[in-house]
Chain A
Amino acid sequence: MRRNCRLAALSATLLIFLAGCAEDAPQDFLEPQGPVARQIDKLMDPVFIVAGIVFVLVQGLIVVAVLKFRSKPDSPEPEQIHGNTRLEVGWTLAPALILLAVAVPTIATIFDLSQKPENPVNVTVIGHQFWWEYRYDDLGVVTANELRMPVGQPVELTLNSDDVIHSYWIPPLAGKMDVVPGRSNRMHLIADSPGEYMGQCTEFCGASHANMRAKAIAMAPRDFDAWVAGQRAGAVTAVAGTPAEAGSTLYAQKGCGGCHTIDGVSEGVLGPNLTHFATRTSFAGSIFANNDANLRIWLRDPQAAKPGNKMIIPGAPLTPDEITKLTAYLNTLR
C-alpha cells in the first residue's frame, strides 16, 4: 500500500490502474531489503511526495485555466497582460528553495554512502560478456553468477571488467555501480535476512545484455562459513565406471578445459570456474536454474540458448549421449 501511494504521488494518472495491481516484482527497488537500499528509499520518499504535489498543482492549474477561461459567446476580449514581475520572481524563487531543500540531504547521503563499511567481506566482482565472476581473495574462493553473502555483514565489492562496461545491480540491496574496464569501482551491500535477491547487468554490453542476470544469496553466518569451507575444498573426482567418469573424459577430449577451470583438472580462464558447479542454483548468467533439463538445452546449443556468448563447443555438436555424460559429470562437481 505504501508503495502504491508513492507511485500515485509520482504520477496520479496511474492511480486508477494501480488500485487493483499488486504484482510481485523481485527487482522492485521500492521494496528495499537492506540498509543501503533503504537509505536511498527513505531519501526518495519526500522527493516523490513533493514531485506529486507539484504535479497536481500544475495539472490542476491547466485544467482550471482550460475550463474557466474557455471562450464563451459573450466573453469580452481579454486584458492584454504582459507579465507580472512579482509573480515571476516568486515562481523562480519558490522552486529554487524547494530544490535547495532536496539538494542538502541528497549531498549528505551521497557522501554517507561513499564511506567504506566496517568489517566487510571483500569480494572482487569481474564482469564478463555475459556473466559475473566473484573472487573472495581473502577466503580463497572463486565462483560465478551468484554472490554468496552472510546476512547482516557488509559486503564490499570491488568491480572490475574483463571486456566492456557492465553495471552491477541488485536493486533490493543497493543502487547500481558501473563495472568499467581499467577502473576499480567500489560499492557495498548488506542484506537484512536470508534469501535470494535478483538483479542484472544494467549497462548495455552486447548481444546478450538481457541475459546477464545477477543473483545475491544471503545466508546465515554459519551457513556462509560452511559454504566457504565447501568451496575451498578441491574438486570431486568422478567415481570410476560411472557416467560421470565418462563425462570427465569427454570434458578433456572436447577441450572444455581450454576455457574452464576445475581445480586439479584444467586451468582455462575464459569461462566460469566449474570446480563447484553443482553447488550453484543457476548458470549461464543466472538465466537458467541449475538442473538436468536446462543443462541439456545449454550443452546442445549454447549459442541458441544465449546469443553471442563466448561458449563454443569445438567440432560437431554434442550427441545426446555425450550430453548425458557431461551433465552427470557436472552434477558431481559439488
Chain B
Amino acid sequence: MAIVTPERPEAPAPEQPLNVPVRFLRRPTGYTPGLWGWMTTVDHKKIGIMYSVSAFIFFIIGGLEALLLRIQLGGPDQTFLRADTYNQLFTMHGTTMIFLVIMPLSAGLANYLLPIMIGARDVAFPRINAFGFWVFLVGGLFMYSSFFLGGAPNGGWFGYVPLSRNMPGHNMDYWAFGLQILGIASLTGAVNLIVTAINMRAPGMSLMRMPIFVWMSLVSQFLLLFAIPVITVALFLLSFDRLFSTNFFNVAAGSDPLLWQHLFWLFGHPEVYILILPAMGIVSEVLPVFSRKPLFGYQVMVFSGIAIGFMGWGVWAHHMFATGLGPVAVSAFSASTMFIAVPTGVKIFNWISTMWKGKLTFPTPMLFAIGFVAMFTIGGLSGVTHGVVPGDTQQTDTYYIVAHFHYVLFGGSMFGLFAGAYYWYPKFAGRLLDERLGKIHFWLMFLGFNMTFAPFHILGLQGMPRRIYTYPADMGWDMWNLVSTIGSFIIALSILTFIINVIKNRKPQEVGDDPWDARTLEWSIPSPPPEYNFKEVPLVTSRDELWHRKYTEDEHGRSVRREVMLGQEKMPGTEVEPSPAEGHESPDHVEGGDDEHGEEHEPHIHMPSPSYWPLLAALCLPVICYGMIYKTWAVAILGGVAMFGTLYAWALEPATAPEDTPVHGPDTSGDDREAVRV
C-alpha cells in the first residue's frame, strides 16, 4: 500500500534480525535495476506492463494458431493439419484468446491505470498484485507446456463432459489444472482492484466522479469475483473424475452431463461481460477526448454497465438452447437474453451522442474506438437473433455463432483494447506511437477483420458447423472460406504493423504530460509516471477532473481555457473547497509548474518495497499441478509445502523493508527513482 507518512515512527534499524524472520535472499530495494527488479517489483505500473506484454505475446501465439486453422479450412478436404492437431489448436486458440489475452490485457490496463485514474499512488495489495501476475504467467506457461508433454488440450475451450472426462492422455488435465491456476490469478487480481477502487480513491473522488473505465473495470472485477468460484468447482469435479475416477460426470453411474454445462456457462456468460466491459470503458474514455465533449449520459453509462453485470447472471442457459431444457426454461432464458440487449443498446446510442456535435479528430485511438462501436453493434444484433430460440436451434454451433462472438470479442474487445493501447501508450512509454503506421494498422485490421468474420455469417446460415477440421467440396462453402482465410492473413499483417510501430518508435520524445488534451487524472502526471504517481495526492472536485482544471465554460456552455478566462474562474462544481495545503487552486500549477508547491506539505512518500515472495509462491502452483496430473504425489506435496512456506515467509515480511529508503518528496521529485520505461 502506498503509505504517506508525515509522522511515521522511525523504522527499526535494518540490521535487527528479529524483523526479518524468513529470508534466504537479500530483499531487493526500490532501486533494483534490470531483470531482478522486474521479477520482484510490486509497482502496479510495472506489473501492468508485464501483464500487457505477456498477454500480447500470447495474442501472437493464439493468432498463429488461428492462422493454422484458417489454412486448414481455406479449401475443402485439406490435409494441412491432422484431425487431432486441429482439435488441439482450436481448443488452445479459444482458451488462449479468452484467458491469456483479453482477460490479462484488461487486467494489465486496469492495473496500470485504475490507481492513477482515482488519484492513488498504488493498489491496495501490491504484493498480491504481483502474485496475481506471476500466477497468470506460470498458468499460461503450464498450459502451453502440454504441447511438449504429450499434446495440448483437445476437448474444446468449453470442455463438455463426458467427452472431456473420458479423453485419454493428459491433454484435458492440463486444461483443467491450467484454468485453475489462471482462476487464482483472476481472483487475487479482482480482490485487489475492487479494494483499490473502493478504498483508495483520492479525496473528492466520489463514486460518481470515477472515470468510466474505472467503473467498468470495477464491475468486471466483481463479475470475476463471483464467476471464477463457479468454474473452480466445475474444474475440481472434472479433475477428480479424471484423476480419482469419481462419478460426478459419469453417466453410467447416473450423472447428468448437463450439470457441467450449467456450471460452465454460469461462469461462462458473466465471463463474456468480463471480456467486454473493460473495452466499453476504454471506448467511453477515448470518444470524449477526441470529440472534445464529455461522455454523453455518464450516469446512464455507469448504471447500464452495472445492469449488464447483474443481468449477465441470468442468461447462461442461452448457450444450451439445443440441449432439451424444455419450453418453459428456454422461454425464460430467451426473454432474458433479448432484454440484456437493452442496456447494451443504450450504451451504443450514448457513444454516438458523445460524438454528436463534437469537434472530432481521428488519431489512431479514435479510429479504433469508432471501429469498436460499429463492429460491436453487428455482434450485438446477431446476438439478438440467437435469443430467438427456434432460430437459435438452427444457428447454434454453426459459423454464424463464430461470426457473432468474433464481432463481440475481436471487433469489440480487441478493437477497444487497441484503442486503449494507442491512447495510453504515450503515458506508459513517454512517446507517441507513429500515427501513419497506426492508421495503416487500423485500416488493415478493419478490412482483414471484416473479410475474415463477415463471411462466417453466410457460412453459418449455409449450415457449416463449428469445430470441424474438414469439409467436403460439395457443400457450397469453398469460396467464403477462402475469402476468410485471406482476411485472416490481412489481420496478421495489421498486427505486424503494430509490432513494427512499437519496435521502431524507440527514440525519446517530449510528449509532455497530456498529449491528447485529455480529461482524466492520469494525464496530470508525467509520462511515464514516477513510481509514486502523484507527488501530491490530488483533490478531486469534479468528474473529468483534469479537463475542469484546464477549461471552464463560457455562457454558451462551450469550453474555454482557464488562462483565457483568467480572473473570473473558481474551481468548478466545488462542493469541496480545496484546502490551501493540497489544492490545485491556480491553473499555472496544473500547467506543469510542479516544482514550486508543496515542499512543506508532503515530506516523504513511502512506497512498498519489492519482494520475491509473490514470484516464488506463484512458481509452486505448477509444481503442485504437475504432481497431481502425473499422480506423483511426492512432487505435489513438495509443491504444497513450498507454497505454504513462501506464503508464511511473505506474511511475515513487512510491506516496506526497513532498510529501503523512502522516495523523497518534492525536493528530489522522482529523480532518484527511475520512472518505468517500456
Name A's B-contacting residues (CB within 8 A). 7, 10-11, 13-14, 17-18, 21, 23-30, 37, 39-40, 43-44, 47-48, 51, 54-55, 58-59, 61-62, 65-66, 69-71, 75-84, 87-88, 91-92, 95-96, 99, 102-103, 106-107, 109-111, 113-114, 159, 163-165, 167, 169, 171, 174-178, 180-183, 185-186, 198-211, 287, 307-308
Contacts and interface: CB of A to CB of B under 8 A. Distances in A.
Contacts of B22: none
Given A26-B476, A40-B391, A79 B297 contact: no
Contacts of B362: 66, 70
A307 B82 contact: yes
Given A29-B463, A111-B327, A206 B385 contact: no
Contacts of B471: 210
Contacts of A178: 322-324
B632 interface: no
Contacts of B389: 106, 109-110
B558 A80 contact: yes
Contacts of A181: 162, 251, 257
Given A47-B385, A79-B293, A176-B396, 15 more contacts: A28-B463, A43-B391, A47-B384, A47-B391, A55-B377, A78-B291, A78-B292, A78-B558, A82-B294, A83-B299, A92-B346, A110-B389, A176-B322, A176-B393, A210-B469
B324 A183 contact: yes
Contacts of B255: 182
Contacts of B634: none
Given A43-B390, A80-B557, A207 B83 contact: yes
Given A58-B352, A70-B362, A109-B390, A95 B341 contact: yes
B330 interface: yes
A87 B87 CA distance: 48
B349 interface: yes
Contacts, number: 309
A25 B327 contact: no
Interface residues of B, number: 104
B396 A29 contact: no
Given A103-B335, A110-B331, A111-B331, A25 B297 contact: no
A308 B83 contact: yes
B675 interface: no
Nearest to B558: A77
Contacts of A14: 454-455, 457-458
Contact of B294 (A81, A164, A203, A210): A81
A180 B163 contact: no
A92 B397 CA distance: 31
B578 interface: no
Interface stretch (B353-361, B583-591, B645-653): B353-361
Contact of A202 (B257, B334, B396): B396
A51 B353 contact: no
Contacts of A180: 257-258, 323-324
Interface string B134-167: 0000000000000000000001100010110011
A12 B356 CA distance: 23
A38 to B, nearest CB: 11
A25 B396 CA distance: 18
Closest 7 CB pairs of A and B: A27-B463, A175-B393, A25-B476, A210-B468, A185-B324, A83-B297, A25-B462
A69 B360 contact: yes
A334 to B, nearest CB: 27
A231 to B, nearest CB: 27
B361 A71 contact: yes
11 contacts: A14-B455, A44-B394, A47-B385, A58-B348, A80-B294, A82-B296, A106-B331, A164-B163, A182-B254, A182-B256, A205-B163
B475 to A, nearest CB: 6
Contacts of A199: 463
Interface string B227-267: 00000000000000000000000010011111000000000
Interface string B459-482: 001111111111110111101000
A209 to B, nearest CB: 6
B580 interface: no
Interface of B: 82-84, 87, 155-156, 160, 162-163, 166-167, 251, 254-258, 291-294, 296-300, 322-324, 326-327, 330-331, 334-335, 338-339, 341-343, 345-346, 348-350, 352-353, 355-362, 370, 373-374, 377-378, 381-382, 384-385, 387-394, 396-398, 450, 454-455, 457-458, 461-472, 474-477, 479, 483, 553, 556-560
B384 A51 contact: yes
A75 to B, nearest CB: 5
Most buried by B among A59, A159, A163, A202: A202
B259 to A, nearest CB: 11
Given A171-B394, A178-B324, A183-B256, A204 B160 contact: yes
Contact of A40 (B334, B353, B393, B398): B393
A165 B257 contact: yes
A243 to B, nearest CB: 31
B560 A77 contact: yes
Contacts of B553: 80
Contact of B462 (A27, A102, A201): A27
A178 B292 CA distance: 52
Contacts of A59: 374, 377
A307 B357 contact: no
B427 to A, nearest CB: 23
Contacts of A84: 296-297, 353
A154 to B, nearest CB: 17
Nearest to A27: B463
A186 B339 CA distance: 29
Contacts of B468: 200, 209-210
Contact of A307 (B84, B358, B377, B450): B84
A67 to B, nearest CB: 9
B199 to A, nearest CB: 28
